[in-house]
């Protein structure tokens, strides 16, 4: 994570600081939402009708894509802060491309499960897989809207990118958040089996 993505800077004005605070609040709400879904997942997996599902290997590829997007976004923010507009623009495009690849690979993973007859209403493990990945995907898609706004601003000021660096810094922070959330979701879907859920809930 680059220094530009960590938080407000002295060069930020009132508008930038308001956006910075707003993003922290949004991530707090989104993090709470995902936490509640994970708690519900544990409780539902403890039910007698829950069975484990095999996760498609595409999820590991999608994880790599999102990690690359997060790293590239952080580098883009740092390049803009250093006045390297052209480099920052290239890194921003690369970050957007890897993020789109993440979404495409997630869709590929869904296709593999559907072909294996693992459907939404099949069992609680399958239901929560689709719900959690869809919810995360919506947050990623929303982030791409902010990425497009930041990219446009950077493109207009590529020769003097420092005034737009705050936009990229906020995008970088959000991308880091998206990756951390996804890593937590993937860990829960990989290691949280119905037997473990029943043990957590005190069931035999």
In 3D space, the residue among 163, 204, 190, 165 whose CA is nearest the CA of residue 73 turns out to be 165
pTM of the predicted model, to two decimals?
Answer: 0.90
31-61 residue pLDDT tens? 999 999 999 999 988 888 888 888 999 999 9
CA-to-CA distance for 17 and 32, rounded, in angstroms? 23
Mean pLDDT of the region 177-194: 93
CA-to-CA distance for 72 and 82, rounded, in angstroms? 15
Task: Pick 82 or 51 by higher pLDDT.
Answer: 82
% of the chain beyond a pLDDT of 90: 70
Structural domains for the chain: 14-200 (1.20.120.80)
> Measured on CA atoms in the order 141, 147, 151, 153, is the torsion positive or negative?
positive
* Average pLDDT of the chain to the nearest whole number: 90
Please give the pLDDT value at position 131: 94
> Measured on CA atoms in the order 91, 7, 19, 64, is the torsion positive or negative?
positive
Confidence of residue 204 (pLDDT cuts 50, 70, 90): low
CA-to-CA distance for 67 and 150, rounded, in angstroms? 20
Task: Pick 194 or 146 by higher pLDDT.
Answer: 146
Provide DSSP, 66-118.
HHHHHHHHHHHHHHHHTT-HHHHHHHHHHHHHHHHHHHHHHHHHHHHHHHTT-
């Amino acid at each position: 994570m680059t220094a530009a993505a960590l938080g407000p800077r002295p060069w930020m004005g009132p508008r930038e600081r308001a956006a910075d605070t707003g993003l922290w609040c949004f991530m707090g709400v989104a993090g709470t939402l995902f936490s509640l879904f994970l708690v519900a997942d544990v409780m539902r997996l403890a039910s007698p009708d829950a069975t484990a599902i095999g996760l498609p290997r595409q999820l590991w590829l999608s994880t790599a894509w999102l990690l690359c997007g997060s790293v590239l976004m952080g580098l883009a923010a740092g390049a803009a802060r250093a006045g390297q507009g052209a480099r920052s623009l290239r890194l921003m495009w690369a970050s957007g491309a890897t993020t789109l690849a993440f979404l495409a690979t997630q869709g590929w993973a869904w296709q593999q499960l559907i072909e294996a007859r693992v459907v939404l209403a099949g069992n609680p493990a399958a239901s929560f897989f689709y719900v959690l990945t869809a919810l995360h995907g919506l947050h990623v898609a929303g982030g791409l809207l902010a990425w497009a706004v930041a990219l446009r601003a950077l493109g207009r000021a590529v020769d003097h990118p420092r005034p737009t660096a705050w936009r990229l810094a906020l995008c970088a922070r959000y991308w880091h958040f998206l990756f951390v959330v996804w890593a937590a979701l993937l860990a829960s879907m990989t290691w949280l089996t119905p037997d473990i859920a029943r043990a957590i809930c005190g069931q035999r």
